[in-house]
Homo-oligomer: A and B are copies of this chain.
Amino acid sequence: MISAKAVPGLPEIRAGDDLAELLRPFVSDGDVLCLAHKIVSKAEGRVVSLADVVPSDEARRIAGEHHKDARQVQAVLDESEEVVRNERGVLIARTRHGFVCANAGVDASNAAPGTLVLLPLDPDASARRIRAALGKRAAVVVTDSFGRAWRHGQADVAIGIAGLQPLDDWRGRQDSAGNDLRATWIAVADQVAAAADLVRRKDSREPAVVISGLADHVADEDGPGARAIVRPRDEDLFP
């Protein structure tokens, strides 16, 4: 059995805020603390002012096609290793971390007017840092909402992980009848992120969710992080 609960009453997070300090009272050993990346990014100062962004010609061209702010497009390009798709008003990019998502994770929602929130520079490092500061045998997962290739809507996934198994590898193991298992490489951390999102209201400040009951997946070591979930470009079936 697992349970997931949003942390109530968090203040608006600002650059320099100590998330571990704020959240420690809500986290016990064996828990998984899920944090919407927005508060991690804000605490780390990963916010840009539109006024400081100078759009390139490419950004102006794309912005013209999409009826968007060219400075916003430039911020997306700055965060992108590659634009994967640019059609029907949707700019899908591969970020420098290797994540494929809309707008390279650059986000104007829940941001102060005239600012954009970026993804953390290294979300695995962010998760490790917060975990260490918590001082508990708990895992930390930094999440974001990603669209999916063939399905409508967004689901939360793990973009930074410390202390949680990213993938549970059953390849080569067998089911109760002795057959090879099909679903054998379980995206535990992404499913944790999805579960956390279910208890969160998008319009209120509930960026932190604590999941209990997953102690079997919580490790002493920080582990390989969300980096291990990224499918290398040359293995990608849908480039």
Which residues of A line the B interface, CB within 8 A?
1-6, 85, 87-88, 90, 92, 94, 99-100, 102-103, 107-113, 145, 148-157, 166-167, 170, 173-177, 179-188, 190-192, 194-195, 197-199, 202-205, 213-214, 228-231, 235-238
Contacts and interface: CB of A to CB of B under 8 A. Distances in A.
Contacts of A5: 1
B203 A173 contact: yes
Given A100-B149, A194-B195, A237-B85, A109 B181 contact: yes
A202 B190 contact: no
Given A110-B175, A180-B108, A151 B231 contact: yes
A109 B150 contact: no
Given A192-B198, A237-B149, A110 B155 contact: no
Given A2-B4, A183-B145, A190 B228 contact: no
B237 A187 contact: no
Nearest to A180: B109
B195 A4 contact: yes
A185 B154 contact: yes
B231 A177 contact: no
A48 to B, nearest CB: 15
A30 to B, nearest CB: 14
Nearest to A32: B198
A238 B87 CA distance: 11
A147 to B, nearest CB: 9
B198 A191 contact: yes
A152 B228 contact: yes
Given A109-B179, A112-B177, A148-B149, 18 more contacts: A4-B195, A88-B237, A103-B182, A108-B182, A109-B181, A148-B187, A149-B236, A150-B231, A150-B236, A150-B238, A153-B166, A153-B188, A153-B190, A155-B190, A175-B202, A176-B204, A195-B195, A238-B238
